Amino acid sequence: MKSLNVELGERSYPIYIGADLLANPGLLRRHIPGNSAVVVTNTTVGPLYRHTLNTALDGLKTETVILPDGEQYKNMAVLNQIFDALVEGRFDRNTTLIALGGGVIGDITGFAAACYQRGVHFIQVPTTLLAQVDSSVGGKTGVNHPGAKNMIGAFYQPRCVLADTSTLSTLPDRELSAGLAEVIKYGLLWDREFLDWIDAHLNALLNRDNAALTEAILRSCAIKAEIVRQDEREGGLRALLNLGHTFGHAIEAGLGYGQWLHGEAVGAGMCMAADLSHRLGWLSQSDRDRVIDLIARARLPIGLPPTLDGRTLRQRMSADKKVINGTLRLVLMRELGSAVLVDNVPEELINETIQFYTEVHPRHEQQP
């Protein structure tokens, strides 16, 4: 097992990374201060791992809430299913909510923990690569609004993150690739050396080599922990973690949540961010093409879905959380390994990038 800390003063917490961590009951129990816990999972992950987790909670008052699986269920109505279980079970303020699943489960459970009785304890047990490297770390929680992704939520830190790499053995190939999008993101926005490492080890990652996956998770979490340490509530620096997300969130909302996985939309979004960075004169054409080729090798889409037109995409981008006083802010790349938050990108360049990815071109035909 490897571990690192997210350093946030009194809200600091550890991230544990390794195989078979769910089978270590003491590891989880040390972070549960009360005598009750509610496990929130979904119809896919629950049958695989909730019994192992419940064994670790033996002796506590427990309940399991099983939600439907999919981004389309990350909404207020499904959130209320968690509140219903908490109220009906008379769980008190010293209860710990445990998120067992991917990013949707982590986000919605964390938001429930932030709201129930104005805040109860919360633990992340991510079971997808995307959640292990990104969404489980940093305390962003929330649900989607029909008009925009993650528009309703709260910053609320967990007591710990337990990333059991053994759970990745049951992850579908499509979900694995979606997680690799976020791994690639860290190299592109922060660490050129890590980007080179990803490039060299991509086949090992796709083949689920445990040593490679553990290293990718550890390095991704270390980058995110450092950024969150400096900017917990996204006053500036943390916004860089949204590289590819303004385009990606617009793709998700424009298609309808659940049609593409989040990581798939982010993969295409990073290609678009790379192209726009090239049009601004920051990335060379070879660097832009390197980004596109790496994302394609990760078995991710590298262009817009054929059912989404450019005008709809641009409209959806205007609903992004980073729009301030009517101005769209984009995360782009000054160079590979160095991202920047940009205001007032010329509209004609944005439209050129959108047009580039809506044209019929063999390079951009890969779809989920």
SS3 for the chain is CEEEEECCHHHCEEEEEECCHHHCHHHHHCCCCCCEEEEEEECCCHHHHHHHHHHHCCCCEEEEEEECCCHHHCCHHHHHHHHHHHHHCCCCCCCEEEEEECHHHHHHHHHHHHHHHHCCEEEEEECCHHHHHHHCCCCEEEEEECCEEEEEEEECCCCCEEEEHHHHHHCCHHHHHHHHHHHHHHHHHCCHHHHHHHHHHHHHHHCCCHHHHHHHHHHHHHHHHHHHHHCCCCCCHHHHHHCCHHHHHHHHHHHCCCCCCHHHHHHHHHHHHHHHHHHCCCCCHHHHHHHHHHHHHCCCCCCCCCCCCHHHHHHHHCCCCCCECCECEEEEEEECCEEEEEECCCHHHHHHHHHHHHCCCHHHCCCC
- Type of residue numbered 133: V
Q: What does the pLDDT read at residue 319? A: 80
With CA atoms as reference, report the closest residue to 112 among 70, 71, 67, 149.
67
Contacts of 158 (CB under 8 A, 6+ apart): 13, 99, 110, 122, 123, 124, 136, 139
Q: What is the pLDDT of residues 82-106, one digit of tens each?
A: 999 999 999 999 999 999 999 999 9
Interacting residues of 311 by C-beta distance below 8 A, sequence separation 6+: none
Residues 6 or more apart whose CB falls under 8 angstroms from that of 318 comprise 328
Annotated catalytic residue, options 224, 299, 316, 364: 224
**Residue type for 275, please?**
D
pLDDT at 266: 97
Structural contact between residues 118 and 86, judged by C-beta atoms closer than 8 angstroms: no
Instruction: Indicate the pTM of the whole model.
Output: 0.94
234 catalytic, yes or no? yes
Give dist(CA 283, CA 46) in Å, integer: 44
Segments of the chain scoring below 50 in pLDDT: 360-365
pLDDT at 148: 84
Catalytic residue among 31, 50, 185, 262: 262
Catalytic annotation present for 262:
yes
Residue 239 has what pLDDT?
Answer: 94
Catalytic site residue from 185, 249, 279, 364: 249
Q: Determine whether 245 is an active site residue.
A: yes
Catalytic entry in 182, 215, 232, 252: 182
The reported pLDDT for the residue numbered 318 is 87
Instruction: Look up 329 and say whether it is catalytic.
Output: no
CA distance 139 to 111: 9
CB 251 within 8 A of CB 265: yes
Bridging pattern class, strands 96-101 and 36-42:
parallel
Q: Pick the catalytic residue: 42, 144, 150, 242?
A: 242
Copy the structure tokens of residue 263.
Answer: 């990581």
Asked if 216 and 183 touch (Cβ cutoff 8 Å), the reply is yes
Active-site annotation holder among 238, 288, 299, 364: 238
pLDDT for 325 equals 62
**Cα 14 from chain centroid (whole Å):** 18
Whole-angstrom Cα distance, residue 291 to residue 272?
Answer: 10
What is the predicted pLDDT for the residue at 364?
A: 47
Report d(CA 143, CA 145) in Å as an integer: 7
Active-site residue flag, 363: no
Give the chain's domains with CATH numbers: 2-170 (3.40.50.1970), 173-364 (1.20.1090.10)
| Residue 118 designated active-site | yes
Q: Which of 293, 282, 302 is nearest to 349 (CA)?
A: 282
